[in-house]
Amino acid sequence: MRKKIIGANWKMNLSRLEAESLYHEISNLGELNEHVDLVVFPPQPFLGLLSLNAGVALGAQNVYGPEIFGAYTGETSLQHLIDLHIQNVLIGHSERRLYFNEHSDFIGAKAIAALNGGFQVFFCCGESMEIRENGTAASWVEAQLTSLFEQMDPKSCSALVIAYEPIWAIGTGKVPSMDEITEMHGFIRGLCEQYFDTPFADAIRIIYGGSCTANNARAMAQLPNVDGFLVGGASLSYSSIQEIIASV
């Protein structure tokens, strides 16, 4: 039985004081998060500050790889995260693909470097509305994951969290139907089983992201192969993230 996991992606939001306050509140959820792994992805400049607190697990919203050091202005290396005792990274988010032109080969290389470095990787995949409507969503997601799976050591499967985020649902309030979520998560689970032997494939957690809120999380959490959520805007509210955690 895979333990549920939730990623709280704060994106480029919150002031320092707001981030400290929310992180402190979430870290005191106590018994609510005993049954679920919780990882907070704050804005990158706050990682060092928040890592000084013995709170909930932290993750980086982005990382450069596979090089550890070099002339890469503005980037964060895996070694920097190791020095901060950060063990989680978010890789391949659609906003990185869209706004920063990160392509699948580069994203795959970053993910492999992080997995080989002992990190837990939240690897994002998902399709646009145009791709969904023309009936090629499954092949699009498969192509995004193939660049990762073909290079992965099966022993890294337990450190991989696949976040299915239909681009058209991110921050829009639009949510796929329960049947659409079930179908895509089942398809991704099938891909895992195609590339890896059963014990390894079963260890990979598949989570849903895209306008996940306290109102719809409970129903989605009951769907097969939904092992948790990657939460965006709703994770900026203590009450909302508390309800989402309680729903899984």
Residue 64 DSSP class: B
Please report the sign of the dihedral spanned by the C-alpha atoms of residue 220, residue 161, residue 110, residue 195: negative
Sole residue written with tokens 């964060």: 76
CA count, 13 A, side-chain hemisphere, 202: 5
CA distances from 118 to 79, 126, 207 (A): 11, 25, 20
Nearest Cα to Cα of residue 208 among 235, 233, 184 = 184
93 an active-site residue? yes
The catalytic position among 93, 95, 102, 127 is: 93
CA count, 13 A, side-chain hemisphere, 143: 10
Separation between Cα atoms, residue 223 and residue 178, nearest integer Å: 8
CB 236 within 8 A of CB 242: no
For the chain, how are helix, strand and coil distributed in percent, rounded to 5? 50, 15, 35
Amino acid at 200: F
**Cross-strand bridge partners of residue 208:** 164, 229
The catalytic position among 95, 127, 165, 185 is: 165
Catalytic residue numbers, as ranges: 93, 165
